């Protein structure tokens, strides 16, 4: 089940964010307010999910694996990994 949620998070991150926000306490534990989750939802959804994973499972400890995961998440959000608009032409 967690792998299915992970795959849904990569392909449909905004749906997973809404699901986690309304049905779990993930984002209430990871963030103090609502501004950063809203901005993450709009601009960098995969990065927002990874940040939530690091805060929830790693306790906010930014060691090597969470840092590499954050770099990959930002690259996925920016479209540098997985083909962007240039490959669709």
**How many Å apart are CA 14 and CA 72, to the nearest integer?**
17
pLDDT in tens, 69-78: 999 999 988 8
| Domain layout of the chain by residue ranges | 2-81
Q: How confident is the model at residue 88 (pLDDT cuts 50, 70, 90)?
A: low
| Residue 17 zone, left/alpha/beta (φ > 0; ψ -120 to 50; rest) | alpha
**How many Å apart are CA 14 and CA 40, to the nearest integer?**
10
Tokens (6 digits) for 86 = 């240039």
**What is the pLDDT, as a whole number, of residue 67?**
96
Comparing 30 with 51, which gets the higher pLDDT?
51
Residues 6 or more apart in contact with residue 45 via CB below 8 angstroms: 13, 14, 17, 77
pLDDT in tens, 2-27: 778 778 888 899 998 998 889 988 88
């Amino acid at each position: 089940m967690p792998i299915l949620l992970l795959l849904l998070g990569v392909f449909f991150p905004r749906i997973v964010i809404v699901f986690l926000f309304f049905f779990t306490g993930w984002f209430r534990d990871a963030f103090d307010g609502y501004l950063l989750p809203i901005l993450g939802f709009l601009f960098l959804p995969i990065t927002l999910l990874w940040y939530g994973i690091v805060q929830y499972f790693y306790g906010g400890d930014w060691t090597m694996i969470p840092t590499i995961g954050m770099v990959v998440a930002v690259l996925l959000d920016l479209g540098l990994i997985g083909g962007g608009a240039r490959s669709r032409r």
